[in-house]
């Protein structure tokens, strides 16, 4: 059998950082693998951590359609795992699916068995594997594909695979109550989805931004209140705060906004690599404040997130372009300058239009 090739967009740093349209050979389909036709893939700041890896095809917020399955994946596809309302992961040829950050895990260790595959010691996460979503086709382990509900159009579903899953997982894994008061710091690619998820969760949502001009958008996206560091004097205490920004923060200030037993959950990695400055450590003892991080969702939570987003009409604000090397260069340039509102999505248009028609 002759090798299958595909058009892919390889990032190179020679002579300067840019994307190159290339023809690459796809790996042979393994027993559990799926051949995927990429419909849409959005860009994420995390993609840039892969720049410099030889031959890397980034893109870990991807939506595609299953074209073929390996022998074991075909057997699995014939078994209906969605029984009596219990959620299962089964994909068939023709299905529209999401994929990208978590590539594989052992599925046998303690963490995998309790549904925390994202922390498996043998996991493969972006950018391991090199060939991701900025391509026309790719090969992926079918056990790490997530069925996309018909109500989610591929270009709007793509940003949910990392940004959306990260925000959902903060609420889901921490059992945040629908009666909770939740703050979201930063109204960008992550934060604008965080506002929508928290509002749909039933929470009272407070948006924090350093820019007054974000107020109207934040309120439209689900915030009940909007605050800048200068306008929090009358703000009531919060149960949960999600930090989405990579800039240094006055952590003591935000801890002061939490109720006793409140949680400060960060998903934004500090860019400047400085030590975290927390002046008053007694808040962790006297008020039982918790300071934690959160990663993108594991498989079960990922499927629940997509269903939740479909059910509640959660939809990212996107800038759409046709997938090409030039469009990728432009989108990442805009991302580094902070100009993207709020997620840039690259679409394989001919393929994607067919997928939308099929879903309808």
Q: Which of 152, 255, 243, 249 shows the shortest CA–CA distance to 190?
A: 243
Indicate whether 42 pLDDT > 70: yes
- Strand pairing partners for 206? 183, 225
> How do residues 43-57 score in pLDDT, each as one tens digit?
999 999 999 999 999
pLDDT one-digit tens code per residue, 116-135 = 999 999 999 999 999 999 99
The yes-or-no verdict on residue 234 having pLDDT over 90 is no
- The tokens of 267 are what? 């998903």
The CATH 3.40.50.720 domain(s) of the chain lie at 165-293
| pLDDT band, residue 86 (cuts 50/70/90) | low
Of 271, 143, 285, 268, which Cα lies nearest the Cα of 208?
A: 268
Max mean pLDDT among 253-262, 270-279, 345-354 falls in 253-262
Q: How confident is the model at residue 84 (pLDDT cuts 50, 70, 90)?
A: low
Query: How far is residue 24's CA from residue 18's CA, in Å, rounded to a whole number?
Result: 17
Compute CA distances 98 → 42, 72, 91, 178, 338, whole Å: 12, 20, 11, 27, 26
For residues 121 and 119, what is the distance between their CA atoms, to the nearest angstrom? 6
Q: CA 16 to CA 24: how far, in whole Å? A: 21
* Cβ proximity of 146 and 102 under 8 Å: no
Q: Which residue has the higher pLDDT, 113 or 83?
A: 113
Is the pLDDT higher at 139 or at 358? 139
Q: Where, residue-wise, is CATH 3.90.180.10 in the chain?
A: 5-161+297-359
For the 5-161+297-359 domain, the top CATH level (class) is alpha beta
Examine the pLDDT at 353 and tell me if it is beyond 70: no
Return d(Cα 32, Cα 69) in angstroms, integer: 7
The pLDDT confidence band at residue 327, using thresholds 50, 70 and 90, is very high
Superfamily of domain 165-293 in CATH is NAD(P)-binding Rossmann-like Domain (3.40.50.720)
pLDDT tens for residues 3-36? 899 999 999 999 999 999 999 999 999 999 999 9
């Amino acid at each position: 059998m002759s090798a299958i090739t595909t058009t892919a967009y390889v990032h190179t740093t020679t002579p300067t950082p840019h994307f190159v349209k290339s023809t690459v050979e796809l790996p042979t389909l393994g027993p559990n693998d799926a051949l995927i036709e990429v419909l849409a893939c959005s860009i994420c700041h995390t993609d840039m951590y892969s720049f410099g890896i030889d031959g890397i095809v980034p893109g870990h917020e991807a939506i595609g359609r299953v074209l073929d399955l390996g022998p074991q994946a075909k057997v699995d596809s014939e078994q209906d795992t969605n029984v009596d309302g219990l959620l299962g992961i089964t994909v068939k040829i023709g299905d529209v699916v999401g994929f990208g950050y978590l590539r594989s895990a052992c599925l046998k260790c303690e963490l995998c068995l309790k549904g925390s595959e994202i922390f498996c010691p043998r996991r493969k996460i972006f950018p391991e594997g090199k060939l991701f979503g900025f391509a026309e086709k790719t090969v992926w382990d079918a056990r790490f594909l997530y069925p996309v509900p018909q109500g989610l159009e591929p270009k709007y579903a793509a940003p949910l695979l990392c940004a959306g899953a990260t925000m959902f997982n903060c609420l889901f894994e921490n059992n945040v109550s629908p009666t909770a008061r939740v703050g979201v710091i930063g109204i960008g690619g992550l934060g604008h989805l965080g506002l929508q998820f928290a509002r749909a969760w039933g929470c009272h949502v407070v948006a924090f931004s350093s820019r007054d001009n974000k107020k109207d958008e934040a309120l439209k996206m689900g915030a009940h209140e909007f605050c800048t560091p200068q306008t929090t004097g009358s703000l009531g205490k919060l149960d949960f705060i999600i930090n989405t920004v990579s800039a240094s923060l006055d952590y003591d200030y935000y801890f002061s906004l939490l109720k006793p037993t409140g949680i400060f959950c960060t998903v934004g990695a500090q860019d400047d690599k400085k030590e975290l400055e927390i002046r008053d450590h007694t808040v962790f003892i006297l008020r039982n404040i918790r300071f934690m991080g959160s990663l993108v969702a594991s498989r079960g939570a990922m499927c629940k997130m997509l269903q939740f987003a479909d059910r509640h009409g959660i939809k990212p604000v996107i800038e759409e372009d046709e997938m090409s090397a030039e469009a990728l260069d432009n989108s990442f340039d805009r991302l580094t300058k902070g100009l993207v509102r709020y997620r840039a999505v690259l679409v394989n248009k001919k393929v994607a239009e067919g997928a939308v028609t099929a879903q309808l």
